[in-house]
RNA sequence: GCGGGUGUAGCUCAAUGGUAGAGUUCCAGCCUUCCAAGCUGGCUAUGCGGGUUCAAUCCCCGCCACCCGCUCCA
């Protein structure tokens, strides 16, 4: 092709992002800062559009979801209740030998013979250095002196510095001496644990290997000691080498509330937006006049000190989330009220069937995703979970990520977090791998229960339908349902480490509450990463196609095929020529006509084709050209009409200026 | 965090232990009647900090950032 070597796709996308102003590295003039990114003019518009569409579809266009915009810094107890303080903060140890990293609490205790060394010297260099007097030898040989003059000089100078009365000078001397000697030896202690009875030789072998990694070419480990150890957690489970002391790994972004940095004022930037929703659940319920089932949505920044930010903006330390917490009745409550819980599989099977028959009549042209069952009172958590997965995929389709470009991944039982009943990840195939855009989790009543326990404030809701229905049930049925609810509560409390006696008392109380119409709602959580989605949209939109140049030769054209709904700029306005004031004035008139309704970009610089191409890279779906016909030079029937050029097909049509606003609005909505 | 690689203009790529060059983009002007045309002029770079040297973008060290692999990812 035109390019002699193929630049990897992701590189081209990153380059375009920077070139056109979608995404820049943060703090670039200072060398950048790892894990942080800025959105440029086009990126800011794109992101704003995406967030607005999410917000509109999740809250404004629904009866049963309301919004929340909570603070980023919250009471630190929130993160104790949510489990982030403990799970986000792990002591980690590194293995000196195999360099693997482990969680300190997952190291198994081992017994055996530990061989330890205080360091190693280089067999060859050391003997030479000893002769030269650097490492304590006494008989410098002229031959080696000539090779080692520099080191000898440095060493002697260091000794002089070390005898100074100034501590700063002594420090420099110590440094220098260390530098000089470090060529000949390594002072880092090392140890390895072997099963009792195994030959010391293999310990030496491992130690040598270790010191070789530390750039001692011919290491002789020094001062070997052996000792029987029992149940020690200081040695690597895989290779037996000594582990480093535990280092605290904390993924939470710490800060201080108030100007004084004392331990009582420690707080964290939120690592997810969801917890604020749980914490405000009761307040929102009261003021919004909603009833279960209903949801609370939030868009906002979150912060995690990721160990290793990677893949452009995909894993950043500061990122934005769009989260919904949708609160539902526990299945026992649904069953009490409706007499049954609808089977999720059946609901979707019924809705799929008509679609299958449609396939036999291709003329019907039905979309593959027309199935869209509406929520029913007898839905339990499985149906709601499936419902939200479907809603979310449909939304992705609506902004230009077709279902086929996404992957639904149902987490396996053993991958599920302890609080989750089911989690589905929606994945997108990025150039760097298939990665998660959104997770839709069925979280049971874990979060609200935690906040109830930690805050001491009741998180239960009263449901008069439940109370009335409960009263009508036969005793055997209430017993069965009560028992199921009780068991679930007991299981949760036990899992959280609540003492057995306390747990069983509490679970009994909770079950009694159920009979009075009171329960803790369960929750379905669709949680999407905005920045990941933006990246997916950019990757998906990026396209190189062939466009003819002036002479009709095909030429590679880079075009961002954004869905018009999300395109940063909706329409570009061009006067055909910029040195004709009439054209320019008319074009500016058109620009001003459209500006109140759409994002418009006016451009008069350069050849028209060039201006089209610039907009192709920005992903602008429509271009308007004002020419002499617009001015009426070719007759009155073409007066006040403009050329409307379509980005993807590059086709042009003639449109009346008066029709532009409704026509374009229709296309971008 | 570990290992490897990279770092020159907005982008793509040169060159050199002694004045950093091209194409393209961008800006201005002229010209131009619908897909990166032409002409003229212009802006813009050795990631940061040390060291060696008379002199460092180049050699050495440290840092930072990016890429790849491992690791990590509630």
List the single range of A166-175, A206-215, A314-323, A526-535 with lowest mean pLDDT: A166-175
CA of A432: nearest nucleotide by C1' is: B68
The helix or strand, by DSSP H or E, that contains position A268, with its residue range, turns out to be strand A266-269
pLDDT category, A134, cuts 50, 70, 90? low
Structure tokens at A274: 């969801």
pLDDT category, A356, cuts 50, 70, 90? very low
In this prediction the pTM is 0.83
Share of chain A above pLDDT 70, in %: 84
Length A375 CA → B63 C1' (Å): 58
A573-595 pLDDT per residue, tens: 999 999 999 999 999 999 999 99
pLDDT at position A179 is: 59
**pLDDT (mean) for A489-499:** 91
Q: Is A425 within 8 Å of A435 (Cβ atoms)? A: no
A487 versus A227: the higher-pLDDT residue is A487
pLDDT at position A364 is: 36
Q: How far apart are CA A187 and CA A185, in angstroms?
A: 7
pLDDT at position A360 is: 38
Complete DSSP assignment for A315-372? B-SEEEEEEEEEEE--HHHHHHHHSS---HHHHHHHHHHHHHHHHT-GGG---TT---
List the single range of A19-23, A65-69, A154-158, A447-451 with lowest mean pLDDT: A154-158
Share of chain A above pLDDT 90, in %: 54
Is the C-alpha dihedral spanning A584, A586, A589, A594 positive or negative? negative
pLDDT at position A28 is: 85
CA of A574: nearest nucleotide by C1' is: B34
Length A516 CA → B21 C1' (Å): 84
Length A369 CA → B34 C1' (Å): 39
A163-188 pLDDT per residue, tens: 777 666 666 666 666 656 655 666 67
pLDDT at position A464 is: 92
CA of A275: nearest nucleotide by C1' is: B74
Closest CA to A91 of A75, A79, A107: A107
Length A433 CA → B68 C1' (Å): 14
Structure tokens at A653: 């049509």
Length A183 CA → B17 C1' (Å): 28
Length A263 CA → B9 C1' (Å): 49
CA of A315: nearest nucleotide by C1' is: B73
Please, how many CA atoms are within 13 Å of residue A62, restricted to the half-sphere of its CB?
Answer: 22
Tell me the pLDDT of chain A averaged across its residues.
85
pLDDT at position A151 is: 61
Length A30 CA → B52 C1' (Å): 27
pLDDT category, A448, cuts 50, 70, 90? very high
A248-277 pLDDT per residue, tens: 777 888 899 998 888 889 999 999 999 999
CA of A82: nearest nucleotide by C1' is: B74
pLDDT over 60 (residue A16): yes
pLDDT over 90 (residue A6): no
Q: What are the backbone angles phi and psi of residue A258, rounded to the nearest 5°? A: 95, 165
pLDDT at position A367 is: 45
pLDDT over 90 (residue A230): no
Length A574 CA → B30 C1' (Å): 20
Where b means 16+ CB within 10 Å and e means fewer, A345-364 reads eebbeeeeeeeeebeeeeee
A363-377 pLDDT per residue, tens: 333 344 456 889 999
DSSP code at position A245? P
pLDDT at position A614 is: 93
CA of A103: nearest nucleotide by C1' is: B72
pLDDT at position A392 is: 96
CA of A548: nearest nucleotide by C1' is: B35
Closest CA to A391 of A405, A406, A374, A407: A374
pLDDT category, A140, cuts 50, 70, 90? very low
pLDDT at position A321 is: 95
Of how many residues is chain A composed?
669
Tell me which protein residue sits closest to nucleotide B25, measuring alpha carbon to C1'. Answer: A19
Length A151 CA → B53 C1' (Å): 20
CA of A19: nearest nucleotide by C1' is: B10
Q: How far apart are CA A633 and CA A628, in angstroms?
A: 6
Tell me which protein residue sits closest to nucleotide B36, measuring alpha carbon to C1'. Answer: A610
pLDDT at position A149 is: 55
CA of A32: nearest nucleotide by C1' is: B65
pLDDT category, A156, cuts 50, 70, 90? low
A571 versus A305: the higher-pLDDT residue is A571
A515-574 pLDDT per residue, tens: 999 999 999 999 999 999 999 999 999 998 887 766 666 778 899 999 999 999 999 999
Please, how many CA atoms are within 13 Å of residue A650, restricted to the half-sphere of its CB?
Answer: 13
The helix or strand, by DSSP H or E, that contains position A441, with its residue range, turns out to be strand A433-444
Chain B positions with an atom below 7 A of a protein C-beta are 1-2, 7, 10-12, 25-28, 30-37, 47-48, 64-74
List the single range of A150-154, A339-343, A463-467 with lowest mean pLDDT: A150-154
A374-403 pLDDT per residue, tens: 999 999 999 999 999 999 999 999 999 999
Length A468 CA → B65 C1' (Å): 65
Tell me which protein residue sits closest to nucleotide B7, measuring alpha carbon to C1'. Answer: A31
Structure tokens at A443: 């979280």
Length A455 CA → B3 C1' (Å): 47
List the single range of A90-104, A295-309, A473-487, A518-532 with lowest mean pLDDT: A90-104
Q: How far apart are CA A9 and CA A593, in angstroms?
A: 39
CA of A94: nearest nucleotide by C1' is: B1
Length A13 CA → B24 C1' (Å): 18
**pLDDT (mean) for A148-154:** 60
Tell me which protein residue sits closest to nucleotide B38, measuring alpha carbon to C1'. Answer: A607
Tell me which protein residue sits closest to nucleotide B37, measuring alpha carbon to C1'. Answer: A550
pLDDT over 70 (residue A35): yes
Length A610 CA → B50 C1' (Å): 47
Q: Are strands A600-602 and A622-626 parallel, antiparallel or unpaired?
A: unpaired
pLDDT over 70 (residue A359): no
Q: Is A560 within 8 Å of A543 (Cβ atoms)? A: yes
Length A154 CA → B53 C1' (Å): 20
CA of A313: nearest nucleotide by C1' is: B66
In terms of average pLDDT, the best of A102-111, A159-168, A188-197, A442-451 is A442-451
pLDDT category, A223, cuts 50, 70, 90? confident
CA of A604: nearest nucleotide by C1' is: B32
Tell me which protein residue sits closest to nucleotide B64, measuring alpha carbon to C1'. Answer: A31
pLDDT at position A368 is: 46
Length A416 CA → B69 C1' (Å): 28
**pLDDT (mean) for A339-347:** 88
The predicted complex's ipTM stands at 0.90
pLDDT at position A168 is: 65
**pLDDT (mean) for A291-298:** 96
- Report the 3 state secondary structure along A580-637: CHHHHHHHHHHHHHHCCCCCEEECCCCCHHHHHHHHHHHCCCEEEEECCCCCCCCCCC
pLDDT over 50 (residue A347): yes
pLDDT at position A227 is: 82
């Amino acid at each position: 092709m035109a390019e002699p070597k193929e630049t990897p796709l992701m590189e081209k996308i990153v380059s375009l992002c920077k070139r056109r102003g979608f995404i820049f590295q943060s703090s670039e003039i200072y060398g950048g800062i790892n894990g942080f990114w800025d959105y440029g003019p086009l990126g800011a518009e794109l992101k704003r559009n995406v967030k607005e569409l999410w917000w509109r579809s999740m809250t404004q266009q629904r009866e049963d979801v309301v919004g929340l915009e909570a603070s980023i810094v919250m009471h630190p107890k929130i993160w104790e209740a949510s489990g982030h303080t403990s799970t986000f903060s792990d002591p980690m140890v590194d293995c000196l030998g195999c360099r693997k990293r482990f969680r300190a609490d997952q190291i198994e205790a081992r017994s055996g013979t530990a061989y330890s060394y205080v360091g190693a010297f280089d067999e060859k260099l050391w003997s030479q250095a000893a002769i030269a007097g650097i490492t304590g030898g006494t008989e410098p040989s002229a031959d080696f002196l000539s090779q080692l003059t520099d080191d000898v000089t440095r060493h002697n100078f260091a000794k002089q510095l070390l005898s100074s009365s100034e501590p700063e000078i002594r420090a420099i001397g110590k440094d220098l001496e260390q530098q000089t000697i470090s060529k000949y030896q390594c002072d880092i202690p090392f140890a390895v644990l072997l099963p009792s009875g195994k030959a010391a030789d293999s310990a030496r072998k491992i130690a040598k290997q270790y010191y070789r990694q530390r750039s001692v070419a011919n290491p002789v480990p020094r001062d070997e000691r052996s000792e029987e150890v029992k149940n020690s957690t200081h040695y690597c489970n895989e290779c037996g080498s000594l582990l480093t002391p535990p280092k605290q790994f904390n993924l939470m972004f710490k800060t201080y509330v108030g100007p004084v940095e004392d331990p009582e004022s420690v707080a964290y930037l939120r690592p997810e937006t969801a917890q604020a929703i749980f914490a405000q659940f009761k307040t929102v319920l009261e003021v919004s006049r909603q009833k279960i089932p209903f949801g609370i949505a939030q868009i906002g920044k979150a912060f995690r000190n990721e160990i290793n930010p990677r893949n452009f903006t995909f894993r950043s330390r500061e990122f934005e989330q769009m989260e919904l917490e949708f609160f539902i009745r526990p299945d026992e409550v649904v069953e009490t009220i409706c007499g049954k819980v609808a089977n999720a599989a059946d609901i979707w099977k019924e809705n799929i069937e008509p679609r299958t028959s449609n396939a036999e009549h291709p003329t019907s042209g039905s979309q593959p995703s027309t199935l869209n069952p509406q929520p029913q009172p007898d839905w339990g958590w499985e149906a709601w979970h499936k419902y939200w997965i479907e809603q979310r995929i449909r939304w992705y389709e609506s902004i230009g990520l077709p279902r086929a470009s996404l992957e639904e991944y149902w987490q396996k039982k053993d991958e599920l977090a302890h609080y989750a009943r089911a989690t589905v990840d929606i994945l997108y195939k990025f150039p760097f791998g298939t990665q998660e855009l959104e997770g839709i989790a069925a979280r049971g009543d874990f979060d609200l229960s935690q906040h109830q326990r930690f805050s001491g404030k009741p998180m239960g809701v009263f449901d008069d339908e439940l109370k009335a229905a409960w009263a009508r049930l036969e005793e055997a049925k209430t017993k069965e349902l009560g028992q199921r609810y009780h068991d679930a509560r007991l299981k949760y409390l036990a899992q959280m480490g609540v003492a057995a006696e306390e747990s069983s008392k509490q679970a009994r109380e909770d079950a009694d509450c159920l009979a009075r119409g009171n329960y803790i709602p369960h929750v379905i959580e669709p949680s999407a990463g905005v920045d990941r989605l933006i990246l997916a949209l950019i990757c998906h939109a990026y396209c190189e196609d062939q466009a003819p140049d002036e002479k009709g030769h095909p030429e590679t054209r880079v075009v961002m095929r954004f869905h018009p709904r999300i395109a940063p700029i909706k329409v570009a306005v061009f006067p055909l020529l910029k040195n004709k004031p009439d054209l320019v004035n008319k074009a500016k008139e058109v620009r001003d006509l459209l500006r109140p309704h759409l994002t418009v970009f006016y451009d008069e610089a350069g050849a028209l084709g060039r201006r089209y191409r610039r907009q192709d890279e920005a992903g602008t779906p429509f271009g308007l050209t004002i020419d002499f016909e617009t001015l009426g030079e070719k007759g009155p029937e073409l007066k006040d009409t403009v050329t409307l050029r379509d980005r993807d097909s590059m086709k042009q049509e003639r449109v009346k200026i008066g029709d532009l606003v409704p026509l374009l609005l229709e296309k971008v909505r």
